[in-house]
A and B are shown apart, each in its own frame.
Chain A
Amino acid sequence: MRAAAGFTLAILAMAQPPAAVAAGAEHGGLVPLPAGLYTPFQLVKAANSGQSAAPAPKTVAAFNMDGEPVTNAGYLAFVTAHPEWRKSRIKTLFADDRYLRRWSADLDFGAAEARDRPVTDVSWFAARAYCNARGLDLPTTAQWEYALADGGRGEARVRARSLEWFSEPNGSGPGPIGGPANGYGVRDLVGLVWEWTDDFNAYAMTAESRDSNGKDAAAVCGGAAAGVADPTDYPAFMRYAMRASLKAHYTADNLGFRCAGGAP
């Protein structure tokens, strides 16, 4: 059945006008990123020590990443082939009741201009299922941040664009994909939507320890995040705070995703 549905979709995609083909091409829209070093944003307090150490740079292996966030059109193809992720069928374990709330029906994302806009109001479970269906994963936080860091190119521009974006009202939802490509050829990492990462909750332990009767040391195993490496990097702080505030079934109007996977 699934193969048949996929086949039908493929036929439909071929029969569609060029604009739809472009949206379909997003499925092949992976950009290769070379291996490199990535310095985590968070200071880490070592186990049984009050001292927080500056994070050591980590090696990120070469990987592929979607050049843009997944669009409504891309997500429509997914829910068409995988009915269990349609808004009428989604399990509450996997998404809250705002899942795809802007879509007018199971297989209708509403206004035509939504086609090339990032899909939002999707949970981590749903985003992950989408990527898995393509044989991919969500990017790790390290991969995502590495892509944004862009080997040090355009750092000031990224910060400026981020701050500008934070000050924009959310109201009408994100605009279309297709912003300027960074040095790796990756677009729209900031400026349209926040994005899920596979390990979004990796740095949520500090918030966790507040819930445990003040016994911080007993609430987590090993180290806990103990501040930020560069307090002047407000956009980075915002990204980490945003991820740490999420639960896997949450959805939001300004939260989307893209996929990553394997060696190029």
Chain B
Amino acid sequence: MTLRAFVSAVAALIALGAAFALAGPPPAIEPSGASLFNIESKWTTQDGATVALTHFAGRPAIVAMGYTTCKDICPAIVADMMWVEKHMTPGTVGKVRFAFFSFDSEADTPERLKLYAESHGLDLDRWMLLRADDAAVRELAAALDVPFRPNDQSGFDHAAVISLLNDRGEIVFQQRGTRASSEDLLAKVRELLLRSE
């Protein structure tokens, strides 16, 4: 083999390697110890798709827990998240995901989650509603520090907690309780987006 043939063979191999690297999935980034991506539970979306929490990698996410038949605080939680969505610029709102995780493993089927999204006018390009089994719910609630318990009215008593995750699944801010306007949360979202630019 001439030197030239050798060089071009090596170049071809490198090109081939690069092509494989480009075609393959992005390298999995090991989550930090504090990342919610260390949680391995699987969730079902309003469209019936199965996702892990790592689905929320790559972009900031505003996440909360509730359930669709909740008449009291849950609509207020969703309203607070929508308030943030509404107050973002058209250019940045697409860079953030919004997620609503249900406590109600039994009643909140994908169909029910989808109806809830529709009735609240949630843009499913940005929003995701998710359900899982009781054990997964309890684990996520623990990680997000959302106290809850089933109540006697087939619902749940729970705290209102909206968490802001960065693109690596780390909690960077929490709003506890609902607000007329979630200014602090919005400011933190903007700050995150600025930092990632």
Residues of A bordering B, CB below 8 Å: 44, 47-48, 56, 90-94, 124-125, 128, 137, 198-199, 201-205, 208-209, 211-213, 215, 218-224, 247-248
Which residue of the partner chain, among A137, A198, A205, contacts B159 with CB atoms under 8 Å?
A: A205
- Name the residue on A nearest B146 (C-beta): A201
How many A-B Cβ pairs are below 8 Å? Answer: 100
Interface stretch (choices B12-20, B32-40, B114-122, B123-131): B32-40
Chief secondary structure at chain A's binding surface: loop
Q: Is B112 interfacial (CB-CB < 8 Å)?
A: no
Among B72, B135, B142, B178, the one with the most A-chain Cβ atoms within 10 Å of its Cβ is B142
Query: How far apart are the CA atoms of A247 and B144 in the complex, in Å?
Result: 10
B142 close to A213 (CB less than 8 A): no
Q: Which of B141, B142, B156 contacts A125 (CB 8 A)?
A: B142
Q: Are B177 and A215 in contact (CB under 8 A)?
A: yes
Closest residue on chain A to residue B148 by CB atoms = A202
CB of B133 within 8 Å of the partner chain: no
**Closest 3 A-B residue pairs measured CB to CB?**
A212-B177, A248-B142, A202-B149
Most buried by A among B32, B135, B138, B147: B147
Are A94 and B38 in touch, CB under 8 angstroms?
yes
Which of A44, A201, A212, A224 is in CB contact (< 8 Å) with B142?
A: A201
Q: Give B65-109 interface residues, CB cut-off 8 Å to A.
A: 66, 70, 72-74, 76
Tell yes or no: B158 within 8 A of A by CB. yes
**In the assembled complex, which residues on chain B have CB atoms less than 8 Å from the CB atom of A204?**
147, 159
- Complexed CA–CA distance, A205 and B148 (Å): 8
Q: What are 9 contact pairs spanning A and B, CB under 8 A?
A: A92-B32, A205-B147, A212-B160, A215-B177, A221-B156, A222-B70, A222-B151, A222-B153, A248-B142
- B interface vs A, CB < 8 Å? 32-36, 38-39, 66, 70, 72-74, 76, 135, 138-139, 141-143, 145, 147-149, 151-153, 155-160, 176-178
One of A56, A208, A221 near B70 (C-beta < 8 A): A221
Contact B143 A219 (CB under 8 A): no
Residues on B with beta carbons closer than 8 Å to the beta carbon of A199: 138, 149
B170 to chain A, nearest CB (A): 9
A219 to B178, CA, bound (A): 7
A203 to B34, CA, bound (A): 25
Beyond A92-B33, A205-B147, A211-B176, whether A220 also contacts B38 by CB under 8 A is no
Residue in B139, B141, B155 whose beta carbon sits within 8 Å of that of A222 in the complex: B155
Q: For residue B149, which residue of chain A has the nearest CB? A: A202
Q: Are A248 and B143 in contact (CB under 8 A)?
A: yes
| CB neighbours of B158 from chain A (8 A) | 205, 220-222
Given contacts A124-B142, A202-B148, A204-B147, 16 further A-B contacts (CB under 8 A): A47-B72, A93-B33, A93-B143, A94-B38, A128-B139, A201-B141, A209-B177, A211-B176, A212-B160, A219-B159, A221-B70, A221-B156, A221-B157, A221-B158, A222-B158, A248-B145
Closest to B141 in A: A201
